[in-house]
Amino acid sequence: MFPCKVGSAWEVVAPAKLNLYLDVLGGRPDGFHELETLMLPVRIYDSLRWTAASPEENGVAPALRIRNLLSGADAPQPDLGPGNLVLRAAESLARAAGIAPCGTFELIKRIPIQAGMGGGSSDAAAALLLANAAWGIGYSYERLASLAGELGSDIPFFLQSSAAICRGRGEQVEPVAGLPLLHFVVVKPPVGLSTAEVFSRWRRSSDQPATLRRETERIETGDRPLSKLIASLRHGALAESGIWMQNALESAAAELSPWINRLRQVFAECGCYAHGMTGSGSATFGVMRSARQARRTAQLLATRRLGTVLVTASC
């Protein structure tokens, strides 16, 4: 993400993400979960704009206006209150810099909510980058990443612009280069999923000690699906890469929503290289063979009342 100045305002676009691999290695003492995931930004964007306060608004806390372009009367709605991550990120940055936050943030929502596509986290990262530039603070990436990690697990990922392996709670970001352009169809069903509820169901249904033992064995033997996934992607072996894609939360999400299994079946019939749930759901993606196949598949799925159907590609 790169903020740019437009007249007296500042603007930035905030991409969505997809998880091509997600493993939950167990719980942590801080209440979070130890993760290992491969995430990549995709070309579905929210937009964030900052404008300076008018003279009569000086000294007033920053405002947030949201224009929601998401379709569906039953779709989850953005948080308009002080808990919105855009405002929290801006206020956190101002507090760290010892300045008063100011101005108005205008957010245009295009990334589906409760989809596992990182829209809220991406918006928060956008707010940090935007305010850092607009307010003339000039913090380094490392300083912003520290603030981002305090706000949310996925937010540090969005401060950089490439695919990355994320570990810890998700805040330990290791950029990954050399991946090919990938084409996707993404379906967000009418029902979203709460991240907290999915992890709670995972905790109840998983054998966490066994999970940790398997991960230790993988490290000792070198038999690591994530390494094999990245290698196959770099070599352009997209059909093979599907063997190594996995999401440890998918079974838990399927227990909470019948849409997960329904979308598994839909994509299994589409002739894509691979398919899977992103994040904690409820969106599911298919890795398509070409941009043309992605467009045709999306047109077909849009007639089946599956929810929001999106065509996109990796950034």
- Tell me whether strands 183-188 and 284-288 are parallel, antiparallel or unpaired: antiparallel
Q: What is the pLDDT of residue 32?
A: 83
d(CA 199, CA 153): 14
Of 264, 257, 272, nearest to 190 by C-alpha is 257
Would you say residue 84 lies in a domain? yes
Whether residues 166 and 188 share a domain: the answer is no
265: CATH? 3.30.70.890
Residue 57: domain span: 4-175
Residue at 170: amino acid letter: G
Q: What is the pLDDT of residue 207?
A: 64
Whether residues 194 and 103 share a domain: the answer is no
Would you say residue 195 lies in a domain? yes
d(CA 90, CA 185): 33
Q: What is the pLDDT of residue 217?
A: 52
202 Cα distance to chain centroid: 19
Token reading at 251: 């079974």
Tokens 């929210």 -> residue: 46
Whether residues 213 and 151 share a domain: the answer is no
Whether residues 92 and 210 share a domain: the answer is no
Q: Of 23, 46, 123, 154, which is the active-site residue? A: 154
CB 298, CB 195: distance < 8 Å: no
Q: Tell me if residue 121 falls in helix, strand or coil.
A: helix
Q: What is the pLDDT of residue 26?
A: 87
Concerning whether 17 is annotated as a catalytic residue, the answer is yes
Residues in the chain with pLDDT values less than 50 = 73, 221
Q: What is the pLDDT of residue 73?
A: 46
Q: Tell me if residue 63 falls in helix, strand or coil.
A: strand
Whether residues 142 and 15 share a domain: the answer is yes
Q: What is the pLDDT of residue 57?
A: 60
Whether residues 60 and 107 share a domain: the answer is yes
Distances (CA, A) of 116 to 18, 96, 284: 8, 29, 9
Q: What is the pLDDT of residue 177?
A: 97
Would you say residue 282 lies in a domain? yes
Q: Of 17, 109, 123, 188, which is the active-site residue? A: 17
Q: In the listed set 155, 175, 195, which residue is the last one of a domain according to the structure? A: 175
Q: What is the pLDDT of residue 221?
A: 44
Token reading at 218: 């993988």
Q: What is the pLDDT of residue 213?
A: 52
Q: How many helices (H) and strands (E) does the chain have?
A: 11, 12
The DSSP element (H or E) to which 51 belongs, if any, is strand 33-51
User: pLDDT tens-digit profile of 13-67?
Assistant: 999 999 999 999 988 888 788 999 999 999 999 999 999 977 666 556 788 888 8
